[in-house]
Amino acid sequence: MSDRRPALELEGVCKRFGAFEAVRGIDLRVGRGEVFGFLGPNGAGKTTTLRMITGLLRPTTGSVRVAGIDAVRQPIEAKRRIGFISDRPFLYEKLTGGEFLRFVGGLWGMTPSDIESGARRWMERFDMLGWVGEPIEAYSHGMRQRLLLCSALLHAPDILVMDEPMVGLDPRGASRLKQVVRELAETQQMTVVLSTHTLDVVEQVCDTVAIIHRGRIVTSGTLDRLRQGQSRRLEEIFLELTEQDADAPATEEAPRGD
């Protein structure tokens, strides 16, 4: 990863819902071609932060820059640079996989030829070509996850954002996803931001990590930096940094309707 210029920058980002402050002054810099892991307990503010990065929520204060583009002042252009897989994705189950990708490509304003070539490229990469003409309702959970990846990568984004992408995947599916994430970063210099509770996945694929607790980042950096020269597992560090007020009510994430 020779190009370390930030692909994603957050400065002083806060998000309030009335008197409730869900995210409290987050600063982040993620480099091009970097795999970044975003960790935190339930209700820590991870999903709210990811929604601000992807433009689904507007920060109350602070700035978000995607590939150098101000996501508040130029939201459409910033969104074009991002592929997003949410923690609760929606698929039109009566469509075939190919029809769904054509629908997504149309939303991005892609030409029919670019949609077809992109769809074939990613469906082939994820061993899905034989299912292009089958309805999504016939897909297994793992196949749906792969289709979502195809749709997120279809418009060639600079940044791929995934919220809990490993949920429900069997070991083979999880291994495939980890391999793809590393390939995207190393061969295409794509920046990957993923939120997950699966700490061993972070240890295996992430270059840098941030741990968020009660709306604030409590530590960030490489795994070596977090371990401080000791042979500690990420789980130990995570539990140590998030055990404060562990018995207090969790901070709520943004309402699902936002």
Helix locations, the chain, DSSP H:
46-53, 75-80, 97-107, 112-125, 141-153, 171-188, 199-205, 223-227, 234-242
- When pLDDT is averaged across residues 236-253 and rounded to a whole number, the result is 64
91 residue type, one letter: L
Place of tokens 């919220």: 163
Range of lowest pLDDT (1-5, 32-36, 203-207): 1-5
Q: Model confidence over 9-30: pLDDT tens digits?
A: 999 999 999 999 999 999 999 9
Name the CATH topology of 1-81+159-258.
Rossmann fold (3.40.50)
State the Cα–Cα distance between residues 86 and 90, nearest whole angstrom: 9
CA neighbours closer than 13 Å in the CB half-sphere of residue 151 = 26
Q: Model confidence over 68-117: pLDDT tens digits?
A: 999 999 999 999 999 999 888 889 999 999 999 999 999 999 999 999 99
CB 162 within 8 A of CB 193: yes
State the Cα–Cα distance between residues 63 and 42, nearest whole angstrom: 24
Q: Give residue 251's pLDDT band: very low, low, confident or very high (50, 70, 90).
A: very low
Judge whether residue 119 has pLDDT over 90.
yes
- When pLDDT is averaged across residues 164-186 and rounded to a whole number, the result is 86
Q: Give pTM, 2 decimals.
A: 0.88
User: Tell me, what's the pLDDT at 252?
Assistant: 44
- Write the CA distances from 42 to 17, 65, 204, 212, integer angstroms: 18, 26, 22, 10
Judge whether residue 174 has pLDDT over 90.
no
CA dihedral sign, ordered 115, 116, 122, 123: positive
Residues of the chain with CATH 3.40.50.300: 1-81+159-258
State the Cα–Cα distance between residues 114 and 172, nearest whole angstrom: 30
Token output for 53: 């990065």
Q: What is the DSSP pairing of strand 208-213 with strand 216-222?
A: antiparallel
CB atoms within 10 A of CB 177: 22
CB 64 within 8 A of CB 9: yes
State the Cα–Cα distance between residues 222 and 228, nearest whole angstrom: 10
Token output for 258: 């936002």
State the Cα–Cα distance between residues 64 and 80, nearest whole angstrom: 14
- When pLDDT is averaged across residues 114-129 and rounded to a whole number, the result is 93
